[in-house]
Structure 1
Amino acid sequence: MPFRQRVRRVGLLLFFVLSVSFTAAHSQPPSAGEQPGQQAKAEERVVIQREAMRLIDPKRYQVALPVEPVRKLTIAAPIAGRVKSMLRKPGDKIISGTTVARLDDTEQSLLVEQAEANLKVAEIELRRAKKQAETDLIELSEARLDAAKAAHDLAKFRIEQTNIRAPFAGEVFRIHVIEGQVVSVGTPLCEFGDATQLRVEIPVERKSVKAKQSIKLTIEDTTVDGTVESVLPLADRFGPLRELVKSLASATVLIDNESGRIRPGQLVDVAIIPQQFVTQVPNRSLTNVAEGGRKVQVVRSGVIRNVLVQLLGQVGTDLSYVGGSFAPGDELIVSASQELADGTQVRPANVAAKPAPGNTRGNTGTKSGTNLPRRGAGF
């Protein structure tokens, strides 16, 4: 059965007549014959339509969204050898061509000396051949000289490979080896990148973004400006979000970080990925709050609670997925016959109220559907 159908309507709508106890807004002196603390408080009847809630753990949808340098690479050993020295440490900012590590070059130095000697021999042989004026001997000597030059160039190239340099200006992020360690070709030496321009891939509603569009991102409580580089098919790691939003895509966003205030690896928060419990609610249970927000009301342990929610996705025309600070056992208030304040206590009208603490009288005379009011605590 599809996931959407499994989470729909996990309980039947229940209509209850509840006894609602309201605490007076202003204290008044007790009437004649009343002791302090025994002042009557208003109690009214209200009809509430409520339903059980199926809460979905937000971990099902959560994916880390780290920002990474647009240009980032692993600097690896180009040849086998022993690490002679690591010249840079994490956090060092360097220019292009800076040496970050050296491998032992003893063997390569000897090969250079050998190549230089062979080159001299070839040059001498060519001079002798020219003195003898023998065409075949001259051509042979010239070929030997060319081979000696190539061997010399190769030896110099190999010794240069023992000096590992930064391919562009950037920052060292992580060191993977220690001095004295023997490495093979391709062994990672360090992580390196240019942190002045960062990139992050995020899930978006397909119709809400387009390439080159400006976009605001929240990076660990800091708001930054970004530019949509491209809109791509949804990445597999965002797949579970399709349960909440029908039309999704991945967007790569570029962030100008010349100031260096954002560090690679910091996480981006996006509204489309819920951080709180997710549930499905009828649209008519949603009400507006200040600054364009939405809320629902729930019955929690006999107390009315306002819960601010984040709209995640529409289910048909009547239902929506929302995220909010719900708790197991909450019952959603779909509608009520009158407005209910946060913190109002409620109970079924046919359940007798318990006596107030310290009241020595029995409650055998209390009528069904009444309640000795207590003040409901706020959030």
Structure 2
Amino acid sequence: MSRRWIGLAVLLLVLVGLATMLMSLRSGRATGEPRVTGPEEQRTLVETAWVQVAPIAETVTAVGSLDANESILIRPEVAGLITRIHFQEGQSVETGTLLLELDDSEFQAQAAQAAAQERIARLTYERLKRLGINQTTIVPAQQLDEAWSLLQAAEANRLLYQMRLKKTKIRAPFAGTVGLRRVSPGDYVQPGQDVVNLEDLRTLKIDFKVPETYLSRLALGQHVTLSTDAYPDRTFSGEVYAVDPRVEATNRAVHVRARMQNEDGRLRPGLFATAALLLASRNEALLVPEDVVVYQLNKTFAYRVVNGSVHLTEITLGQRAHGRVQVVSGLQQADMVVRAGHHKLKDGARVVMAQ
């Protein structure tokens, strides 16, 4: 009898529990409480961006140092005492401008002596020649030949001393700007001694190297954009005018030389510069922000948003410029991609876009 009552009591408790749960569910729906959603309905908040079409330049970047179009150290060819210096440091000079003079008194005397010896040799030769023509005296042919040889030697000696005399006046071989002089009036200089540097600053050159993989795409006249730390807010334009025909075996690079106009004189030889060589330009390139790219297993992907879901799509990248990167394949114009919130996503996840 007791077991029967116990069974009835348990059944009654179960019925009361079910009734309570049913009433609780109805009460929750009536008061508008939120429903607990399943995992398939959960959405992740993300930031998105559109794939845009815009022009982009395909460039290769290298570093190098600027050089003057022409640059030399002025050095005397003969020894002598400096008597006058005709230039000011930092002065612009034209071709042929007299820069300095050496004491030429000794060379003047030597040139005068050589000229006198030439006159004597010429008179001797002409006198012997006239005697032979007039037949007043028999002049042996050997004697006439010796007189001619002495005349030629005297003439050469005169030209030699005239040339040495000319070298006592040192002139600018091209137009440019003189630097800081290393000598003073009264200094005795030796042949080859440094006097002052001369730089042609109106045109500058830059040498840089690009990988051999770009060899087939190099051409004379290609545009080069230069940037320097000295002028961080300004760029300078130039063009390629020479490409070394030999590829360096040590680093498999091609030596390229470009030049640019420097009329305002802002740039100086020796400045470190970054050169961006324009290989090609595209007017309609697909561009996305760089933070769109997801790197996985040495590949590049992007989360493409379609109807509220994301699809992990492999993409191929091209050029980068100003925080954006070119997409060569994998995306199309006006595709929407995720640019923030990647770490919370997986392929097929449901998302909601941040306002």
Displacement of 1:133: 4.2
Cα 1:335–1:98 shift into 2, 3 Å: same
Equivalent-residue separation in structure 1 for 2:79 and 2:274 (angstroms): 43
Q: Percent identity?
A: 24
Q: Return the match for 2:267 from 232, 245, 262.
A: 262
Please say if residues 226 and 276 of structure 2, whose CA atoms lie closer than 8 Å, have aligned partners that are also in contact. Answer: no
Q: Return the match for 2:237 from 217, 220, 225.
A: 225
> Over residues 195-225 of structure 1, what are the superposed CA-to-partner deviations in whole Å (9 max), with x where a residue is unaligned?
2221112344553754321121113222111
> Over residues 165-198 of structure 1, what are the superposed CA-to-partner deviations in whole Å (9 max), with x where a residue is unaligned?
2222222234232222222222222211322221
Please say if residues 203 and 234 of structure 1, whose CA atoms lie closer than 8 Å, have aligned partners that are also in contact. Answer: no
Bigger relative contact order (CA 8 A; separation at least 6) = 2
Equivalent-residue separation in structure 1 for 2:189 and 2:236 (angstroms): 41
Q: TM-score, normalised by structure 1?
A: 0.49
Equivalent-residue separation in structure 1 for 2:103 and 2:83 (angstroms): 5
Aligned 1:1-379 pairs, distance under 5 A: 65-129=64-128, 130-131=130-131, 133-136=137-140, 137-204=143-210, 206-207=213-214, 210-219=219-228, 220-221=231-232, 222-232=234-244, 249-270=254-275, 294=290, 317=299, 336-337=343-344
Cα 1:119–1:254 shift into 2, 3 Å: same
Amino acid paired to 2:224 = I
Amino acid paired to 2:272 = L
Please say if residues 63 and 208 of structure 2, whose CA atoms lie closer than 8 Å, have aligned partners that are also in contact. Answer: no
Amino acid paired to 2:222 = Q
Equivalent-residue separation in structure 1 for 2:138 and 2:157 (angstroms): 26
Match of residue 14 from structure 2: none
Equivalent-residue separation in structure 1 for 2:169 and 2:342 (angstroms): 74
Which sections of structure 2, spanning at least 5 residues, go unmatched?
1-61, 278-286, 302-316, 321-339, 346-355
Q: Report the structure, 1 or 2, having the larger helix content.
A: 2
Amino acid paired to 1:224 = F
Amino acid paired to 2:154 = A
> Over residues 259-282 of structure 1, what are the superposed CA-to-partner deviations in whole Å (9 max), with x where a residue is unaligned?
43433333313589xxxxxxxxxx
> Over residues 212-250 of structure 1, what are the superposed CA-to-partner deviations in whole Å (9 max), with x where a residue is unaligned?
21121113222111112344578799x6xxxxxxx8644
Match of residue 52 from structure 1: none
Equivalent-residue separation in structure 2 for 1:152 and 1:256 (angstroms): 45
> Over residues 103-150 of structure 1, what are the superposed CA-to-partner deviations in whole Å (9 max), with x where a residue is unaligned?
221221110121122123223333543346443344433332222221
Equivalent-residue separation in structure 2 for 1:134 and 1:191 (angstroms): 62
> Over residues 87-112 of structure 1, what are the superposed CA-to-partner deviations in whole Å (9 max), with x where a residue is unaligned?
22332222222222222212211101
Q: TM-score, normalised by structure 2?
A: 0.52
Cα 1:334–1:74 shift into 2, 3 Å: farther
Match of residue 280 from structure 1: none
Please say if residues 224 and 275 of structure 2, whose CA atoms lie closer than 8 Å, have aligned partners that are also in contact. Answer: no
Displacement of 1:64: 7.6
Amino acid paired to 2:260 = I
Amino acid paired to 1:214 = H
Equivalent-residue separation in structure 2 for 1:162 and 1:124 (angstroms): 31
Cα 1:293–1:88 shift into 2, 3 Å: farther
Q: Which of 1 and 2 has greater Rg?
A: 2
Backbone CA RMSD of aligned residues: 3.8
Please say if residues 68 and 205 of structure 2, whose CA atoms lie closer than 8 Å, have aligned partners that are also in contact. Answer: yes
